[in-house]
């Protein structure tokens, strides 16, 4: 009923999942900073999430943790699970999962992934997701997770249709108030959930992402920003203060930089005054 990718990139861990199932994000994904990430699906056993993360935290490799957890589960042949830990990745598909069902797991040093799905249109879904993961190298983990999900969706995805999608990722020091939450997004019931998840991810990065492509507030750019802020009702002798006041009002404060103005904040200011 579901296709997912569980992955590690550097110190970041995350899961992205889509399904013809209401609120798939309430069931499938979990991740823990410094430990790993897990997806449980196909007659999902939610207890796997804490159990597997606990085993990873205790030092077990993903394949060993997954083998031990499934061995204790009488319903394991109906389950599907993906696990990524420090230096390890594993995927399990029970023999009673509805066709097509299968997965792949690889540890590639600085990155690792487990991709799996059931009730899919065919193996091309997992194959497309794996290709998209590699093709997106150089992007952030959430962007790579979403790229894989888009590829799986376009390749056929869940053979029954579309309903929900979710992403959860963690990384030390990231997110709002440096909470470590790199992305926490759910589309619970939507005609195009993977597309909507991408829109939400872009918004999330705007609100909680670090400053990027910062330009100094000098010359013509300073004049443009000062004029735009004044049109929006934010003016004063100190341009940085006026910018901070507007950005705080728009919830863009995470993107403020003492070095100047962030590219996406500048784009938002231009759009607001267009």
pLDDT digit string (tens) for the chain, length 274 residues: 699 999 999 999 999 999 999 999 999 999 999 999 999 999 999 999 999 999 999 999 999 999 999 999 999 999 999 999 999 999 999 999 999 999 999 999 999 999 999 999 999 999 999 999 999 999 999 999 999 999 999 999 989 999 999 999 999 999 888 899 999 999 999 999 999 999 999 999 999 988 999 999 999 999 999 999 999 999 888 999 999 999 999 999 999 999 999 999 999 999 999 9
Residue 28 sits in a domain whose CATH number is 3.60.20.10
Give the model's pLDDT for residue 1: 63
CB distance 126 to 102 below 8 Å: yes
Measured between alpha carbons, how far is residue 178 from residues 171, 186, 206, 209 in Å? Answer: 9, 21, 15, 10
Burial class (CB in 10 A: 0-12, 13-18, 19+), 178: exposed
Tell me the pLDDT tens digit for each residue of 43-66: 999 999 999 999 999 999 999 999
The answer on 176 and 135 residing in a single domain is: yes
Measured between alpha carbons, how far is residue 140 from residues 1, 21, 23 in Å? Answer: 27, 27, 25
Whether 185 is in a domain gets the answer: yes
Whether 214 is in a domain gets the answer: no
The answer on 27 and 53 residing in a single domain is: yes
The answer on 223 and 181 residing in a single domain is: no
The answer on 238 and 123 residing in a single domain is: no
Final residue before a domain boundary, out of 175, 208, 241: 208
The answer on 153 and 35 residing in a single domain is: yes
The answer on 146 and 111 residing in a single domain is: yes
Q: At what angle do helices 239-249 and 219-231 cross, to 10 degrees?
A: 50
Whether 157 is in a domain gets the answer: yes
The answer on 106 and 186 residing in a single domain is: yes
The answer on 93 and 116 residing in a single domain is: yes
What is the full DSSP assignment across 173-215? Answer: T-SGGG-SEEEEEEE-S-SSHHHHHHHHHHHHHHHHSPP-S-B
Per the structure, how many domains does the chain have? 2
The answer on 150 and 70 residing in a single domain is: yes
Whether 200 is in a domain gets the answer: yes
Output the pTM of the full model. 0.92
Query: What angle (nearest 5°) sits at the alpha carbon of residue 59, between those of residues 57 and 65?
Result: 85
The answer on 250 and 173 residing in a single domain is: no
Whether 213 is in a domain gets the answer: no
Q: Which domain holds residue 107?
A: 2-208
The answer on 228 and 204 residing in a single domain is: no
R_g of the chain computed on alpha carbons: 21
Final residue before a domain boundary, out of 208, 232, 247: 208
Longest dimension (CA), the chain: 70
């Amino acid at each position: 009923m579901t296709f997912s990718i569980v992955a590690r990139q550097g110190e970041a861990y995350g899961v992205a999942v889509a399904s013809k199932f209401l609120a798939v994000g309430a069931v499938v994904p979990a991740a823990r900073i410094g430990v790993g990430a897990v997806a449980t699906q196909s007659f999902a056993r939610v207890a796997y999430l804490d159990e597997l993360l606990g085993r990873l935290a205790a030092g077990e490799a993903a394949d060993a943790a997954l083998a031990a957890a499934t061995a204790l589960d009488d319903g394991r042949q109906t389950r599907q699970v993906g696990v990524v830990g420090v230096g390890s990745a594993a995927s399990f598909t029970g023999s009673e999962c509805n066709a097509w069902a299968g997965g792949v797991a690889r540890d590639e040093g600085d990155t690792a992934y487990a991709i799996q799905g059931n009730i899919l249109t065919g193996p091309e879904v997992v194959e497309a997701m794996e290709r998209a993961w590699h093709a997106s190298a150089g992007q952030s983990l959430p962007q790579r997770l979403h790229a894989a999900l888009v590829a799986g969706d376009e390749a056929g995805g869940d053979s029954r249709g579309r309903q929900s999608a979710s992403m959860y990722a963690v990384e030390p020091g990231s997110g709002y108030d440096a909470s470590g939450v790199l992305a926490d997004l759910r589309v619970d019931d939507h005609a195009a959930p993977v597309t909507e998840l991408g829109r939400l991810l872009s918004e999330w990065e705007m609100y909680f992402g670090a400053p990027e492509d910062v330009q100094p507030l000098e010359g013509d750019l300073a004049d443009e920003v000062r004029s735009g802020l004044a049109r929006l009702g934010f003016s004063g002798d100190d341009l940085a203060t006026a910018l901070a006041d507007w950005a705080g009002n728009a919830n863009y404060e995470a993107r403020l930089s003492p070095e100047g103005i962030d590219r996406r904040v500048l784009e938002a200011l231009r759009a607001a005054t267009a």
